[in-house]
Structure 1
Amino acid sequence: MQTIPMTVRGADLLRKELTELKTVTRPKIVSDIAVAREHGDLKENAEYHAAREQQGFCEGRIQEIEAKLSNVQIIDVTKMPNTGKVIFGTTVTIVNVETDVEVKYQIVGDDEASIKDNRISVNSPIARGLIGKQADDAVNIETPKGTVEYEIIEVEYI
């Protein structure tokens, strides 16, 4: 299995979610199942079936997180010298050459991506176009609306 790149923050968030699932969510579901069983006939017991379904989702998510964490490669750009190159984990400020709109993105792993928090997946078209480039480079990114030209304003290792 291949390694999964992740920032320190992303790995911490997954570990917290795993702890929450194991120490809070899982025991609550077990308790819900026990309570539902006391209601008698399991064939007609909606609470029991809902709790069992919830248990399946919970256990699946625990396995998924454990698998990711076992193959994680944590990349901490704050401990690297800033070469000015765009790499996984860097924060990049770009400007749309045509519209002059400036945007700042951090390039992160798939699990961490959140467009509302300006964190984009390393596998996104924008990130793929930026990786390996540096400040003052012009980059053409293929978007659904066609090719957009951006200029890289700043590359931060924060």
Structure 2
Amino acid sequence: MTQTSENVTWLTQEAYDQLKSELEYLSGPARTEIAKKIEAAREEGDLRENGGYHAAKEEQGKQELRIRQLTQLLEKAQVGEAAADNGTVGPGMVVTIAFDGDPDDTLTFLLGSREVANDDIEIYSPQSPLGKGINGHKVGDTTHYELPNGKKAKVKIIEAKPYKG
């Protein structure tokens, strides 16, 4: 679970450890593996027509980008506790809202970061218009957030529970 501000990313200890472990793997064993793939492909000859070489170089580029992303994220990380189960919306909470108070028009999502969530749940950033509009409100509250066209949308908070992963 994370909460991102301009300069700090809040992570639970579990999320921090998971991301640190991924960074250590990518920076060590994974770098060695990709270097071996590139060298093996290079030994096959003409690099202009060597699909294995180009695929390995592309994989290396993606891996290096992920290493930079993780390094920056972890440099700004502050480790804290998981979200409290008190019905207040905040980063790390799975929130269900009803649009215009209509109980049939609902959306459930994680208010947090893609870095620590699985693909089974939609994620909204605390910095998004919806995230800013509901953050700090309690279950039962009705609040507004600004749409891209400048209009306001009304939502009622139906449920807010800590994300369990």
Note whether the superposition's TM-score is higher than 0.5: yes
Q: Does residue 123 of structure 1 match 2:127?
A: yes
RMSD: 3.2
4+ long deviations beyond 4 Å: 7-10, 41-46, 112-116
1:7-156 matches, within 5 Å, as 7=12, 10-22=15-27, 25-42=30-47, 45-78=50-83, 80=84, 82=86, 84-97=87-100, 99-100=102-103, 101-109=105-113, 111-112=115-116, 117-144=121-148, 146-156=151-161
In 2, distance between residues paired with 1:53 and 1:119? 28
Offset of residue 88 of structure 1 = 1.7
* Structure 1: segments with no counterpart, 5+ residues: none
Residues 157 and 34 of structure 1: CA distance in aligned 2, closer, same or farther (over 3 Å): closer
In 2, distance between residues paired with 1:130 and 1:88? 10
Partner of 2:10: 5
Offset of residue 130 of structure 1 = 0.4
TM-score normalised over the length of structure 2: 0.71
In 2, distance between residues paired with 1:4 and 1:43? 42
- Of 8-17 and 50-59, the range deviating more from structure 2: 8-17
SS in 1 for 2:159: strand
* Structure 2: segments with no counterpart, 5+ residues: 1-5
Q: Would the aligned equivalents of 2:114 and 2:123 in 1 still touch at CA under 8 Å?
A: no
Identity %: 31
Residues 6 and 110 of structure 1: CA distance in aligned 2, closer, same or farther (over 3 Å): farther
> Counterpart amino acid of 1:62?
I
SS in 1 for 2:90: coil
> Counterpart amino acid of 2:62?
F
